[in-house]
Amino acid sequence: MAKNQHNNLWALVHAERAALADDLASLSSEQWQHETLCGQWNVEQVVAHLTAAASIGQWRWIRSMAGARFRPDMHNLRRLNEHKGTTPSQTLENFRRVVSSTVAPTSDIPAYLGEVVVHAQDIRQPLGLSTEPTVEALTPVAEFFASRNFAVPSKNNVAGLRLKAIDGPFIYGDGPLVTGPTLNLVMAMAGRAAYLDDLRGPGVELLGTRLEP
């Protein structure tokens, strides 16, 4: 990856973390415990997970996974508990400290940008918060998700479909069309069925069946 592209992607990661931190600053105690789109995790747990993800390099990640017997769910739970504060304010402060971090287990920066934008919406959508990631940040995530299964089976979710954003340059694949905002395409690829409603085209029904629990 060219140095300029590398630096630009990290700048986008930092901007999206900062935007989420600003949203979190206004949450009530009850909202911190609200459910999210991320399985059984509440808002505070998702934030602690993002802090953990920005705090672990390659070798520590390998040791942590080995200690969890290569069970990602166990690894993630242990690490989020490590970075969860005794209060939501402390959890937020822990997150603020890693806003400008460039620590990651691998060099797949679009994947870590995707982690931030997806988990931010996992929090915002159930709370009715209006902030959204920029199309500039979403486009490299969409391209990565469509081409690779990383932490989520995003490539499998859209296999055999043609994706086209209506608000940006993202176009990918061949087959029945799925079109809509880049954010909705990204969230659908990440398995969030709540974002299907604003997608259109003959491929939406098939995509929806792949996102069913």
Q: What is the mean pLDDT of residues 7-12?
A: 95
Has residue 196 got a pLDDT over 80? yes
- pTM exceeds 0.85, yes or no: yes
pLDDT category of residue 65 using cuts at 50, 70 and 90 = low
Residue 53 makes CB contacts below 8 A (sequence gap 6+) with 79, 104, 112, 115
Contacts 24+ apart (CB under 8 A), 10-15: 10/102, 10/109, 12/113, 12/134, 12/136, 12/137, 12/140, 13/109, 13/112, 13/113, 13/116, 14/99, 14/100, 15/134, 15/137
Please state the CATH superfamily assignment of the domain spanning residues 3-127 in this structure: dinb family like domain (1.20.120.450)
- Model confidence at 69, pLDDT cuts 50, 70, 90, reads low
Q: How many CB atoms lie within 10 A of CB 156?
A: 12
**CATH fold match for the domains 3-127 and 138-210:** no
pLDDT band of residue 81 (cuts 50, 70, 90) is confident
Q: Report the percentage of the chain scoring pLDDT > 90.
A: 76
**Are 166 and 160 spatial neighbours (Cβ–Cβ below 8 Å)?**
no
Q: Please compute the mean of the pLDDT values over residues 72-85 and round it to a whole number.
A: 74
What pLDDT was estimated at residue 6?
81
Residue 67: predicted pLDDT: 65
Q: What is the percent of the chain where pLDDT is above 70?
A: 88
Name the architecture of domain 138-210.
Answer: 2-Layer Sandwich (3.30)
Beta-ladder partners of 156: none
Bridge-based pairing of strands 162-165 and 177-180 is parallel
Cα(82)–Cα(131) distance, integer angstroms = 28
Where do the structural domains in the chain lie, given as residue ranges?
3-127, 138-210
Q: In what order do the strands lie in the sheet with 162-165?
A: 171-172, 162-165, 177-180
pLDDT of residue 1: 63
Write the pLDDT tens digit of every residue in 101-143: 999 888 899 999 999 999 999 999 999 999 999 999 999 999 9
